[in-house]
């Protein structure tokens, strides 16, 4: 391809795959690392209040994850449709995907705002009878939900930038929001520099302020640095055909990520049979594992538009090379997580002001669950490949098998028969099943959609 033709095509169609994946994924990996850092820092500061505050924030995770599931799942649909439309040079459909996608996530945001206003207390009361945990949880979740417009729009606008290969700007939006959150956490939680001491509510306020800052930067970058799509208030209409195409990929992704909320809620119920400390340990695990899983998700965010674009452009070899490199990188990153969790579990737990009881529960938990990490590397990439190919239902099947069919029933059996320490083995067992299933479905989609190009 000569230079003139290259300038007329998006870089996803001609740049060498290794350099392309690195250039698109690295900003996302870095921004996801910052996101992971602020998730951990948030809980570290909350843990300084007391263990009940940490437990409350941990129990709030299923609802936060559900919001992310709807925002990100819709974003996956937007991303796949928009990138494929650009690959096919269908710029009108690309614009409709962007504007309709924004409106869809704004509508979804309204439902969570209502939940924050009227359902937060009932959600915590369904999990525990401890009045302090319920009070802390209601304070935290009501703020996070009622101000969720920042999170919904930030994620959507970042997906638009990713879809056109401008991941450097998503690094800036996510990084700015996360750093602002980290700075504001101690100030608002403990009342430094003349600010009121807000406690758990301060952690929630810091979170939503960071998200709103990321949203504002997302608006700026899409308006000034993303010329391939055009967003304005006149185009924000519910285009039914476009919405259907977005949700064809997006709904399975939403359900898949929502299953994580069901699994977490169920696991918390099982762990609370033993103690609130066990539930706090599970929450701490989720914060710590994000240091290794979030970069893999960043890698995937860089990978998906490359695959979708080259699927539209019918470039088989570029798709295969992208998948191969992504799998290798994901397994390497999560193997590093396995090593860290095995070598220094006590050091990790001490970050959260862990009591002796929390350390005794957390030490085997981190070591056992992390055995599933390398296998998860393949599964995560395979799931994103399914989504990029327009077969999001495959991801849904694997996720349901892992988190509902295996983890929850196996956890309950192990808890009932062998006690708390045995519960954690449900995670490696589930990942073995998910890996086998992902391999079968990947082979099927390769034959049907990649090999025939």
Of the ranges 153-167, 233-247, 342-356, the best mean pLDDT one? 342-356
Among candidates 101, 95, 100, which has minimal Cα distance to 228?
95
| Alpha-helix runs per DSSP H in 236-355 | 240-272, 276-312, 316-343, 345-350
- The chain-wide mean pLDDT, for the chain, equals 88
**pLDDT recorded at residue 9:** 59
- Whether 444 has a pLDDT exceeding 60, the answer reads yes
pLDDT band at 95 (very low <50, low <70, confident <90, very high): confident
pLDDT band at 183 (very low <50, low <70, confident <90, very high): very high
- The whole model's pTM is what? 0.79
pLDDT band at 8 (very low <50, low <70, confident <90, very high): low
Left if phi > 0, otherwise alpha if psi is -120 to 50, otherwise beta: which for 34? alpha
- Whether 10 has a pLDDT exceeding 70, the answer reads no
**pLDDT recorded at residue 1:** 44
Of the ranges 85-99, 241-255, 365-379, the best mean pLDDT one? 365-379
What DSSP state is assigned to residue 91? H
Placement of tokens 């980290």 in the chain: 182
Q: How far is CA 235 from CA 98, 227, 255, 296, in A?
A: 9, 15, 28, 34
What is the average pLDDT across 1-14? 55
347-404 pLDDT, tens per residue?
999 999 889 999 999 999 999 999 999 999 999 999 888 878 877 788 888 989 999 9
Q: What is the largest CA-CA distance in the chain?
A: 69
**pLDDT recorded at residue 225:** 86
- HEC profile of 339-389: HHHHHCHHHHHHCCCCCHHHHHHHHHHHHHHHHHHHHHHHHHHHHHHHHHC
**pLDDT recorded at residue 232:** 74
* % of the chain exceeding 70 in pLDDT: 97
Least confident of 266-270, 277-281, 382-386: 382-386
- Whether 38 has a pLDDT exceeding 80, the answer reads no
């Amino acid at each position: 391809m000569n230079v003139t033709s290259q300038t007329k095509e998006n870089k996803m169609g001609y740049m060498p795959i290794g350099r392309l994946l690195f250039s698109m994924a690295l900003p996302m990996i870095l921004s996801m690392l910052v996101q992971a850092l602020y998730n951990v820092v948030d809980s570290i500061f909350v843990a300084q209040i007391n263990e009940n505050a940490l437990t409350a924030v941990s129990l709030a995770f299923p609802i936060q994850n559900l919001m992310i599931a709807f925002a990100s799942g819709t974003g996956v649909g937007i991303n796949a449709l928009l990138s494929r439309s650009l690959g096919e040079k269908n710029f009108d459909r690309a614009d409709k995907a962007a504007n309709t996608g924004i409106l869809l996530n704004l509508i979804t945001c309204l439902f969570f705002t209502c939940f924050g206003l009227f359902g937060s207390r009932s959600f915590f009361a369904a999990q525990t009878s401890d009045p302090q945990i319920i009070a802390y949880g209601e304070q935290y979740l009501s703020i996070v939900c009622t101000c969720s417009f920042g999170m919904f729009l930030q994620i959507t606008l970042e997906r638009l930038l990713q879809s056109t290969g401008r991941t450097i700007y998503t690094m800036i939006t996510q990084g700015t929001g996360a750093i602002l959150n980290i700075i504001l956490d101690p100030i608002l939680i403990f009342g430094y520099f003349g600010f009121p001491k807000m406690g758990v509510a301060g952690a929630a306020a810091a979170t939503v302020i960071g998200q709103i800052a990321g949203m504002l930067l997302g608006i700026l970058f899409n308006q000034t640095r993303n010329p391939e799509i055009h967003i304005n208030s006149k185009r924000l209409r519910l285009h039914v055909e476009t919405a259907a195409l977005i949700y064809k990929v997006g709904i399975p992704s939403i359900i898949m990520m929502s299953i994580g909320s069901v699994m977490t809620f169920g696991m918390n119920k099982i762990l609370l049979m033993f103690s609130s400390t066990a539930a706090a340990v599970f929450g701490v695990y989720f914060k710590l594992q994000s240091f290794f899983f979030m970069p893999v998700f960043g890698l995937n965010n860089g990978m998906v538009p490359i695959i979708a674009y080259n699927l539209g452009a019918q470039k088989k070899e570029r798709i295969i090379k992208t998948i191969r490199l992504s799998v290798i990188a994901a397994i390497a990153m999560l193997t590093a997580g396995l090593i860290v969790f095995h070598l220094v579990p006590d050091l990790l737990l001490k970050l959260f002001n862990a009591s002796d009881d929390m350390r005794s529960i957390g030490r085997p938990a981190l070591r056992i669950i992390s055995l599933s990490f390398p296998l998860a590397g393949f599964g995560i990439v395979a799931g994103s490949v399914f989504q990029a190919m327009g077969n999001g239902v495959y991801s849904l099947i694997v996720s349901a098998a892992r988190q509902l069919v295996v983890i929850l029933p196996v956890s309950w059996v192990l808890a009932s028969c062998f006690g708390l320490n045995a519960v954690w083995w449900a995670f490696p067992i589930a990942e073995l099943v998910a890996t086998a299933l992902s391999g079968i479905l990947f082979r099927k989609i390769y034959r049907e959609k990649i090999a025939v190009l």
